[in-house]
Chain A
Amino acid sequence: GGIITQTPKFLIGQEGQKLTLKCQQNFNHDTMYWYRQDSGKGLRLIYYSITENDLQKGDLSEGYDASREKKSSFSLTVTSAQKNEMAVFLCASSIGVGDTQYFGPGTRLLVL
């Protein structure tokens, strides 16, 4: 088995701040994903990466940047945090796009 680690677990930021979330997986999966989940809502895909150094925009990429420098890691940057923003960011990985995804525990963001 493998595991997905997301850091930090909690992130408190200020309005306008640039914030970076990190994700590591040891499944040796090619594909990684970032989702945003608002309270009581479903998942919205922000970015995904089919392989190292690849980036694909999802449905909610505006306001975010992503980086996949290594096969095992995928970072997400909130380019300018919005006041009162509160959401959970979930990272996932899979062997290939469309295959079973394995999820991390999430990073909880609060912007003051």
Chain B
Amino acid sequence: AQSVTQPDARVTVSEGASLQLRCKYSYSATPYLFWYVQYPRQGLQLLLKYYSGDPVVQGVNGFEAEFSKSNSSFHLRKASVHWSDSAVYFCAVSMRTNNNRIFFGDGTQLVVKP
């Protein structure tokens, strides 16, 4: 069965530090890959997505993610975090066949210390 794993439930970093949030999926073919962010008391918003091509995709607010087929991963990165980046980040995958839904990971809570 398809699954998405975010191994870190919570990550704490200092403002200005770099960030990596990990995401691994289990599927033999290359899926569509997404990162969403959820700010307190809001719905989820799309940060970036990967469909094909360049494995490094750029998103909003300086976020980027790198797809690795060999590692079945899609890690999210940011060079320098801001306190306003504190939120919950969800990785999601969907298969490249008709009527295949998106599966979400359990999320990683990011806390940025001032």
Q: Which residues of A contact B (CB under 8 A)?
A: 4, 40-43, 45, 48, 50, 58, 90, 92, 97-106
Contacts and interface: CB of A to CB of B under 8 A. Distances in A.
* Most B Cβ at <10 Å: residue of A40, A98, A100: A98
B94 interface: yes
B52 to A, nearest CB: 14
Q: Summarize A's interface: helix, strand, loop or mixed.
A: loop
A90 B45 CA distance: 12
Contacts of B11: none
Interface in B28-61: 32, 34, 36, 41-46, 49
Contacts of B102: 97-98, 101
B106 interface: yes
Given A103-B36, A104-B43, 11 more contacts: A4-B43, A42-B90, A42-B107, A43-B104, A90-B44, A98-B100, A100-B34, A100-B49, A103-B43, A103-B44, A106-B43
Contacts of A104: 43
27 contacts: A4-B43, A42-B104, A42-B107, A43-B44, A43-B90, A45-B101, A48-B101, A90-B43, A97-B98, A97-B100, A97-B101, A97-B102, A98-B94, A98-B95, A98-B99, A98-B100, A98-B101, A98-B102, A99-B94, A100-B46, A101-B44, A101-B102, A103-B36, A103-B43, A104-B43, A106-B41, A106-B42
